[in-house]
Amino acid sequence: MTPIATTSSSTIVAPIPDIGLIGFDGPDAAAFLHSQLSSDVTGMAPGTVALSSYNSPKGRMLGSLLLWRRGPEAFVAFVAADIAAMLRKRISMYVLRARVTVSDLTPSGRRFGVAGPNARETIHAALDAAVESAQGTVASGECLIVATPDGRYLVHAPEVLADDVWNRLVAHAAADSTEAWNWRAIRTGVPLITQATADLFVPQTANWDLVGGINFHKGCYPGQEIVARMQYLGRLKERLFAFHVDCAPPAPATPLFSATYGAQSCGTVVNAASSPDGGSDLLAVVQWAALDDAQLHLSTIDGPVLTRWPLPYDVPAPVAPKRPKLS
């Protein structure tokens, strides 16, 4: 299908208060996080970033993380701001005797996002920081600066420096809105789990296996048995897809409907943002069977019609469940 909108060619700087930070520090930080998250944490080299998730024992995502290994014994997780305190508290419950400190860094400063073809040059010119987005490496000076896997940048500035950092960034790129940043994030096809959608999705249904957020060869972590069973024995009945709708951005967890499912919801909005071409673009987890319908509707069975646009990666068709081998 033809995309509703194409990625803007301009380089922008935007405030991103919707993003929070959790810090993990201590000699056992890597081993502890490896036992809690879905990705291969101990395999991360210092200075690299990786997508990961923190799941419930039932295998549902409580949070999506962009994890940065800041140093041998230090990590920073970028998460939705409205779940940062909850995740810090919940993860801290399992520290026990591990030598690691878990801190909510969100209140310590402000976040800005830089995106566009000259994002790296903007970071270098404004903050004198060399960050190589192609390798996903990161650098920190007076600020925390992280390159995302898709080439955008997250900047966390201490509160006392935030106004100055903002002014230096907008001297080299166009100032834009949080909504513009959120739209570019949606176009990457990588969902952000927020308070409204926490504990709703098994990671594979949010395409976390397709964007590199799960390692299927590591040891146990919360929900690992469910995630592994779904991967090797189950059949995914729903997946994350991208859509356009001619209305204001729907809230996360807004239901979707189709003729096949009638009054029963067939999908759930994960993230949405205003599109530069009007209307809204969104990411939603949808039942495969509903995609065969002529129309999907937002909010109600006769609500606004959704138009699907392609994600920047392939979504494999569902396969029949595998039968476990009998011993």
Domain range for 272 is 237-315
Does residue 226 lie in a domain region?
no
pLDDT of residue 323: 60
Does residue 80 lie in a domain region?
yes
**d(C-alpha 307, C-alpha 324), whole Å:** 38
> Does one domain contain both 101 and 247?
no
pLDDT of residue 214: 96
pLDDT of residue 8: 60
Q: For residue 218, report the phi and psi dihedrals to the nearest 5 degrees.
A: -90, 180
Largest CA distance in the chain: 67
pLDDT of residue 265: 96
Q: For residue 60, report the phi and psi dihedrals to the nearest 5 degrees.
A: -100, 145
Look at residues 187, 222, 257 and tell me which one is the last residue of a structural domain: 187
- How many domains would you assign to the chain? 2
Coil/strand/helix, residue 164: helix
Spans of the chain, pLDDT less than 70 = 1-8, 131-141, 320-327
CATH code for position 258: 2.40.30.110
Token pair 């995302």 is found at 148
pLDDT of residue 294: 75
> Does one domain contain both 253 and 129?
no
> Does one domain contain both 173 and 249?
no
Q: For residue 201, report the phi and psi dihedrals to the nearest 5 degrees.
A: -125, 135
